[in-house]
Amino acid sequence: MELVNICPLFPDWVLFNFVIPALVIWDVAWKGVALWKSARNGHLAWFICILVFNTVGILPIFYIFGFSKKKASA
């Protein structure tokens, strides 16, 4: 069985040795920060969504810069 190149921009060896591991590291880093912030802020729904969905860092970045700010106490 021969592997099919899923991304014609990169040869197979570049894709499997550099691109995919880089995306995994990128996603794990952003996901870790977002999960930590959502747990500290008590945002259970965000925590579950970030944990379940793999969006290559897009959802965690969206949460960190858009929704993770604590509201000022009155």
**Letter string b/e over residues 24-54, b meaning 16 or more CB atoms within 10 A of that residue's CB:** eeebeebbebbbebbeebebeebbebbeeee
CA atoms within 13 A on the CB side of 68: 17
Query: φ and ψ at 11, to 5 degrees?
Result: -65, 160
pLDDT (tens digit per residue) in 15-61: 778 878 888 899 999 999 999 999 999 999 999 999 998 888 899 98
Q: What is the pTM of this model?
A: 0.71
The helix/strand/coil state of 23 is helix
